[in-house]
Amino acid sequence: MSTYEFKLPDIGEGVVEGEVVKWLVKEGDVLKQDQPMIEVMTDKATVEISAPRAGRVAKRMFAEGERCPVGKVLIVLETEDGQGTAPAKAADVPASRPNMPAAALATPSGPAGAVLATPATRKLARDIGVDIHAVTATGPNGRVTSDDVRGHKPGAPAPAAARPATSAADKRVPFRGVRKKIAETLARSKFTAPHATYVEEVDCTELVALRTAVNGRATGAKVSYLPFIIKATVAALKKFPQMNATLDDAAGEIVQWGHIHLGLATATDAGLIVPVVRDAERKTIAQLSTEIAHLAEVTRTGKAARDELTGSTFTITSLGAWGGVMATAIINPPEVAILGVHRIARRPAVVGDQIAIRDLMNLSITFDHRLVDGLDAAQFVGEIKRQLESPAALDDKSV
């Protein structure tokens, strides 16, 4: 019997430490090689690390929520292979995938019979009381998805003794991992940049008609409103480059970007993630529609590449049909503004001297008042409004 010290490997891209999100094994457990043993989150990724060799867990060196520096011992195993205390290498971590987004949890490559599912899906199953081993998998390579978990129909009701009491007990949820990263980012934004918000109403009646016409000639998937909103936003950003910018504090300069990389705030099981449409100014309605669908899919399933989740210069946030009347978004740092897109609804409006039923939508712009004045914000949203209310120029006939 010998001791094997598994050290957190260097997974590259400037990562210097990882936060222990969840231990999947206890001290005293006997592990098989490649058995998932821990979820670790870095600034770049959340990964599930498997046991590099078989052995018994002698000691877990860091508690959940603590940060382990790269190169420090993460877990000690007692093994029978006589390999002693050789440090772990990146190659010893077969199930970790460092190129995954902050909310994308890697699929384990565990032993035969193991359930293939992301940690986020496993957590969902635990939270709603579903035995993940009993769920029918529909994902790639037999992976259990969050939709599989939600759609699972248990074979029989739980016995009466296992059912929750009428008065539910308080529940404490650990504050770590993706949720904590989101909190840190948004708190930094809110307490660094003085936020201000401007709201404008947009008559989308002609936009609704244009989208209907475009989808009438489309041969593939239907086009949403978002590609048209992106095109209008790109036109406004070209006209008001101070909105497509960042503050370089060290240099004492405001950097106005020469490219437009649009972030699209996307809800996932793990939290709000922002995939990026790169060089949006160069793309057609058809290209934008295809890319939006791709980014939404890979972000929600945890398959987005790092360059699909970084480098945005301006962000749009929309809840679609849930968009409500108005909301004050928090700026995605280090950007200077974020556009909130709200629900299109049929409401009465004054057209000339008449009351008519129109398709109306509110847009909100939340901006960093250090760099953007209220007039700048109003004129910027005014340009988007002009583009959307007379949208013929947005139709590039690519669909």
List, by residue number, the catalytic residues: 369, 373
H/E/C letters for each residue in the chain? CEEEEEECCCCCCCCCEEEEEEECCCCCCEECCCCEEEEEECCCCEEEEECCCCEEEEEECCCCCCEEECCCEEEEEEECCCCCCCCCCHHHCCCCCCCCCCCCECCCCCCCCCCEECHHHHHHHHHHCCCHHHCCCCCHHHEECHHHHHCCCCCCCCCHHHCCCCCCCCCCCCCCHHHHHHHHHHHHHHHHCCEEEEEEEEECHHHHHHHHHHHHHCCCCCCCCHHHHHHHHHHHHHHCHHHCEEEECCCCEEEECCCCCEEEEEEECCEEECCEECCHHHCCHHHHHHHHHHHHHHHHCCCCCHHHCCCCCEEEEECHHHCCCCCCCCCCCCECEEEEECCCEEEEEEECCEEEEEEEEEEEEEEECCCCCHHHHHHHHHHHHHHHHCHHHHCCCCC
